[in-house]
């Protein structure tokens, strides 16, 4: 009986591996501009001067993993926006967005991501892609659970948006959402800030979707129940990977690679635009809190080097790295704006073997602080974080790490 029950639950969780567009979506805008093809496997959206088009899942979901393969408008796509997103209905809505902003021929698309909770957005991050998204299909995924939202491109995480309700930041978790996709004209803002307009002589513009897949909790508004369990919380009994998904070390590494090389806009660094200042989750780390908040181990290492919340004079946190080449010197984190005057420290990094740390003030008269030196031998950071030499800017990594553990340091 128990076995039967769990099989039924699993069937509910994964209605099908690849969905059929005929069964699973409704065209909500643009009429015949949205064409289902190939027996329901492919859906082509188009845009002409009169209208764009849009489809939406018949089901509403409260948490899940949503994948689709997408081939974007080729050639001169300036002014067009192709989307794949989750949205709830009505006022104070929640939304999780992938938007692809077109461009003139030969110029790169912008991947725009955003999260709305209770009607409030302003959580934009934008990226370039490391491939041409118009020449073939690529997979775009949203993982949404009660702890975080992960945006993936070809299974590489490009963004993690954490549930920071503890910091007073609203997180979408109480409103069911439908999967939605659209192609529309936004030439008043989308391309190069609205300077490049849609060239209607190229219309109709088309974008193709296929292998739409949901592995998610279906929400029934009529009965206020989820296929994953009675309440609005994740089922604890039949936990799917996505329900607890977070990044492992190699995925955090991929995320850093994307964020360092391909991120072109981050709301967390745009103090000018948001007049009330940066949102609390941004202060967590000035560069990107997401990667570090997932890592527990640096914190326990620090605890080992503290006594009553204060750093033990002369103590060291022993971690390892494979970073190459040897980097040797003193770090002044305030120069990169992360630690102000709190901590200055010295470090020595080597690929080959564990190195001695130099912590005598006389070697570095400029970095004396009232906290003494935190000494970090980088050798085990590699095992913790799997840093890859060519992808990593060591100073920033270390300072981000310290930024992350700062609350522990200050706890007296
Ligand atoms: C379009 O190309 C220009 C020039 O390369 C670039 O500045 C811009 O960010 C690109 N994307 C959009 C959506 O304007
Ligand atoms: C990390 O996660 C990815 C994607 O789920 C998986 O392919 C990989 O094997 C994992 N790596 C480790 C070290 O667990
Ligand atoms: C840190 O670097 C900045 C910029 O180079 C410098 O002005 C400041 O004095 C340095 N602070 C310490 C404690 O060395």
Instruction: Report the candidate in 248, 259, 311 with the shortest Cα–Cα distance to residue 285.
Output: 259
Q: Report how far ligand 3's centroid is from the alpha carbon of 335 (Å).
A: 6
Question: What is the predicted pLDDT for the residue at 406?
Answer: 34
Helix (H, G, I), strand (E, B) or coil at 361: helix
Reported as a single tens digit per residue, the pLDDT across 227-269 is 987 544 444 455 678 988 888 777 887 887 888 889 999 998 8
Q: Report how far ligand 1's centroid is from the alpha carbon of 110 (Å).
A: 7
Reported as a single tens digit per residue, the pLDDT across 299-322 is 444 444 444 433 333 333 333 222
Helix (H, G, I), strand (E, B) or coil at 273: coil
Q: Which range (11-20, 39-48, 86-95, 159-168) has the least confidence?
A: 11-20
State both tokens at 23.
């069964």
> What's the Cα-to-Cα distance from 308 to each of 204, 296, 311, 378, rounded to whole Å?
67, 19, 8, 25
Instruction: Report the candidate in 133, 134, 159, 164 with the shortest Cα–Cα distance to residue 147.
Output: 164
Domain coordinates in residue numbering, the chain: 2-242, 295-410
User: What distance, in Å, lies between the first and last C-alpha atoms of the chain?
Assistant: 54
Q: How far apart are CA 24 and CA 188, in angstroms?
A: 33
Reported as a single tens digit per residue, the pLDDT across 144-195 is 999 999 999 999 999 999 999 988 999 999 999 999 999 999 999 999 999 9
Residue 347 parent element (H or E)? strand 344-349
Active site residue 251: no
What pTM did the predictor assign? 0.68
Q: How far apart are CA 169 and CA 324, in angstroms?
A: 39
Q: How far apart are CA 158 and CA 127, in angstroms?
A: 8
Helix extents (H) in 2-105: 2-13, 21-24
Question: For residue 366, which atom of ligand 3 is closest to its CA?
Answer: 14
- Determine if ligand 3 sits within 6 Å of the CB of residue 336: no
Q: HSE on the CB side for 380, CA within 13 Å? A: 8
- Determine if ligand 3 sits within 6 Å of the CB of residue 334: yes
- Determine if ligand 1 sits within 6 Å of the CB of residue 101: yes
Question: For residue 249, which atom of ligand 2 is closest to its CA?
Answer: 13
Radius of gyration of the chain (CA): 24
Residue 292 parent element (H or E)? helix 289-293
Q: Which fold has domain 2-242?
A: Jelly Rolls (2.60.120)
**Do the beta carbons of residue 56 and residue 176 sit within 8 Å?**
no
Q: How far apart are CA 226 and CA 234, in angstroms?
A: 9
Residues with CB under 6 Å of ligand 2 are 248-251
Q: Which ligand is nearest to the CA of 143?
A: 2
Percent of the chain at pLDDT above 70? 61
DSSP string over 196-215: SPP-GGGPSEEEEEEEEEEE
pLDDT band at 6 (very low <50, low <70, confident <90, very high): very low
**Do the beta carbons of residue 392 and residue 291 sit within 8 Å?**
no
The strand pairing partners of 55, in sequence order, are 27, 181
Instruction: Report the candidate in 325, 330, 310 with the shortest Cα–Cα distance to residue 390.
Output: 325
The strand pairing partners of 378, in sequence order, are 319
Reported as a single tens digit per residue, the pLDDT across 331-346 is 333 323 322 222 333 3
Question: For residue 369, which atom of ligand 3 is closest to its CA?
Answer: 13
pLDDT band at 284 (very low <50, low <70, confident <90, very high): low
Q: Report how far ligand 2's centroid is from the alpha carbon of 247 (Å).
A: 8
Q: How far apart are CA 151 and CA 149, in angstroms?
A: 7
């Amino acid at each position: 009986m128990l076995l039967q029950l769990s099989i039924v639950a699993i069937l509910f969780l994964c209605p099908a591996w690849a969905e059929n567009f005929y069964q699973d979506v409704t065209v909500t805008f643009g009429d015949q501009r949205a064409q289902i093809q190939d027996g329901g496997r492919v859906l082509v959206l188009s845009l002409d001067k009169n209208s764009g088009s849009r489809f939406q899942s018949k089901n509403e979901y409260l948490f899940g993993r949503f994948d689709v393969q997408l081939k974007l408008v080729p050639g001169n796509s300036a002014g067009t926006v192709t989307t794949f997103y989750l949205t709830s209905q009505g006022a104070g809505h929640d939304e999780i967005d992938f938007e692809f902003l077109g461009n003139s021929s030969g110029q790169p698309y912008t991947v725009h991501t955003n999260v709305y909770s209770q009607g409030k957005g302003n959580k934009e991050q934008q990226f370039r892609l490391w491939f041409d998204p118009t020449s073939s299909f690529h997979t775009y995924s949203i993982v949404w659970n009660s702890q975080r939202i992960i945006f993936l491109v070809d299974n590489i995480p490009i963004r993690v948006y954490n549930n920071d309700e503890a910091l007073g930041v609203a997180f979408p978790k109480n409103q069911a959402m439908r999967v939605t996709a659209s192609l529309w004209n936004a030439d008043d803002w989308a391309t190069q800030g609205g300077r490049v307009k849609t060239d209607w002589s190229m219309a109709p513009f088309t974008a193709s979707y296929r292998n739409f897949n949901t592995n998610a909790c279906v929400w029934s508004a009529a009965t206020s129940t989820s296929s994953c369990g009675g309440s609005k919380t994740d089922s604890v009994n039949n936990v799917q990977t996505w329900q607890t998904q977070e990044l492992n070390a190699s995925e955090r590494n991929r995320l850093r690679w994307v964020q360092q090389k391909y991120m072109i806009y981050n709301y967390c660094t745009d103090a000018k635009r948001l007049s009330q200042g940066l949102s609390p989750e941004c202060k967590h780390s000035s560069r990107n809190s997401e990667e570090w908040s997932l890592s527990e181990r640096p914190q326990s290492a620090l605890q080992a080097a503290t006594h009553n919340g204060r750093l033990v004079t002369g103590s060291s946190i022993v971690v390892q790295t494979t970073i190459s080449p040897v980097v040797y010197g003193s770090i002044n984190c305030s120069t990169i704006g992360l630690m102000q005057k709190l901590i200055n420290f010295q470090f020595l990094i080597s690929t080959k073997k564990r190195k001695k740390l130099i912590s005598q003030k006389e070697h570095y008269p400029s970095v004396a602080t009232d906290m003494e030196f935190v000494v970090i031998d980088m050798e085990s950071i590699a095992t913790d974080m799997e840093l890859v030499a060519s992808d990593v800017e060591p100073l920033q990594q270390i300072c981000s790490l310290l930024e992350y553990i700062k609350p522990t340091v200050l706890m007296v």
